[in-house]
Structure 1
């Protein structure tokens, strides 16, 4: 299966240079999740109880050594734990000069220990959360809810500062992603990014009809974009692979969801095993 980046305005169909031998599924390359800063997670009372239980509090840090602590001991280890050799992030110098020196760095503290952090940038009346991490990338800090509490406290800070919106940065266009599920807790609105990603599209073009391709397409329902620029969720399925409707999609900015049979999408492609059950 081939993944192709394509440049197209949001209101136009795929460019003519895309393969025409079949109809590919077009996804926004990325999408941003923006929430009103006055909104909190639906479990906010549980968050408050967790804050009291763990003695969590928010720290706004401004010194150069604070950035170094965040980047080297939180962000880099967290990205390595998540992505291994496929780490995607800002270089240290870019993060320091373009984000830290023009933004805000928050730490979640438990008593006297910093256990999680986020690096943000204020763009007009929008607080953009750009980089995040937990101490040494330790997954225990995700299990105890530290990252969720940190986002909650940062949004509460934004409210107190009169900031209208918080932007939770982006996610790839698959609702199976843990990052999408996490950010969805804050009831955001899905929007096309305001950056260069606005004109980019991710086009998945299957080359063969194999069980592995079917497994992947079924297990990862995608946010797709139509020629009018509206966002939808597409669930793929076949006889042996029911649509993953257990993965919730409902989010402001997404028009709706529909199901598409894999036989219709993959019709005419070569299959190594003609007896594969579908």
Structure 2
């Protein structure tokens, strides 16, 4: 009985989520965001967690409050470390209290973003979308050596593809590709969409299955935009039985390669969205998709909330954390990047991403900024005023 009830609840939730995400958000984004923000206020604030992390530069504390636990764990690992210990958990009202920690990170309604910015908080989107523009007669693939190598590997492995809406093929995709891959990649933090949710998406799109020697080895669900029929989005993908060894054989690259080909040549689309990624410039998935020519865009489907981030104390541990976590913020001119210079592997080129309106480099008083950085987007911190300068930067980027 419990299992049956759970399936019914999951089915109802999938239907409601699909209706909101696919039909309502593209047409009435402000209304949906307002309703969800009001719902959050009725449910009350999320609890505050005080975490203590320790790294090579010493220990630091993070105060965090998130409604979605999986999202919260992502930001907690980023700004407190994987081995951080929860020291305290208590009710918290953002409007009446300050968290009193080295760094704060809270999930709040998006319409409150500018108010938080006035208090020195950066506003990070929950997710960002990466979109590849398509044009008839123009090669959609960048002429980079990396992508050309990937394409040669796809051809050498003998991959092909088929496009279907067959229910049996979808069941195989969901049970043997999508779900196992999500669990293999993300473990307990995996966000696995319900079967009915993706089935509804299939009605407005197609399942692209990558084949090798007659065997289906990977798949990706592509769904047309509810308002713009020339815009297709990748909703879900996976490798056969969640076998991550297929990554080394470029099966995941084949999903992207064939999806772009299909969208341009078979359907005539002008844009293909390669799903969403985390708002960090060092994110591996973000950098990988950037190589395929994808541009960053705000993700409207997740735009009802943002993560506000503030530095309260400047210590060697806080500096090391910011250096290793270059992030993306939502501002007056769209998306902007913020990177603390000094611990960024790969140099400035790895931080640039198409679609960013600006990239601000933060350096300390005794550091030289990278030579290719624009002087207009370099903030040099002065001793004793680091916190005030960072909070002023957060305000300036938002207004």
TM-score range, shorter chain: 0.7 to 0.9
Q: Tell me the C-alpha RMSD between the 2 structures.
A: 2.6
- Answer with 257-266 or 61-70: which moved more: 257-266
Paired positions, count: 257
- Which secondary structure state, in structure 1, belongs to the residue aligned with residue 300 of structure 2? coil
2:185 to 68, 82, 90: 82
| 2:113 is the alignment partner of 1:14 | yes
Q: What's the CA shift for 1:212? A: 5.2
- Which secondary structure state, in structure 1, belongs to the residue aligned with residue 163 of structure 2? strand
Q: What's the CA shift for 1:25? A: 2.1
Determine the structure 1 residue equivalent to 2:26: none
Is the 1:37–1:165 Cα contact (8 Å) retained in structure 2?
A: yes
Determine the structure 1 residue equivalent to 2:286: 180
| 2:329 is the alignment partner of 1:224 | yes
Determine the structure 1 residue equivalent to 2:261: 156
| Deviation digits for residues 74-118 of structure 1 (CA, Å, limit 9, x no counterpart) | 111111122110112311221122x12322111111111111111
- Per the alignment, do residues 72 and 33 of structure 1 end up closer, same or farther by CA in structure 2, a change over 3 Å counting? same
2:154 to 51, 57, 60: 51
For CA contacts below 8 A with separation 6 or more, give which structure has more relative contact order: 1
Normalized against structure 1, the TM-score is what?
Answer: 0.82
CA distance in structure 2 between the partners assigned to 1:133 and 1:187 by the alignment: 21
Q: What's the CA shift for 1:245? A: 5.7
Matches within 5 A, 1:241-256: 241-244=342-345, 246=347, 248-256=350-358
- Answer with 120-129 or 204-213: which moved more: 204-213
Is the 1:105–1:117 Cα contact (8 Å) retained in structure 2?
A: yes
Determine the structure 2 residue equivalent to 1:166: 272
Q: What's the CA shift for 1:210? A: 6.2
Is the 1:31–1:193 Cα contact (8 Å) retained in structure 2?
A: yes
CA distance in structure 1 between the partners assigned to 2:174 and 2:321 by the alignment: 33
- Which secondary structure state, in structure 2, belongs to the residue aligned with residue 254 of structure 1? coil
Is the 2:154–2:251 Cα contact (8 Å) retained in structure 1?
A: no
Is the 2:113–2:308 Cα contact (8 Å) retained in structure 1?
A: no
- Per the alignment, do residues 245 and 45 of structure 1 end up closer, same or farther by CA in structure 2, a change over 3 Å counting? closer
Normalized against structure 2, the TM-score is what?
Answer: 0.58
- Per the alignment, do residues 145 and 265 of structure 1 end up closer, same or farther by CA in structure 2, a change over 3 Å counting? farther
Q: What's the CA shift for 1:169? A: 1.6
| 2:247 is the alignment partner of 1:142 | yes
CA distance in structure 1 between the partners assigned to 2:316 and 2:246 by the alignment: 37
List structure 1 segments (4+ residues) > 6 angstroms apart after TM superposition. Answer: none
**Structure 1: gaps of 5 or more residues:** 268-278
Q: What's the CA shift for 1:199? A: 4.3
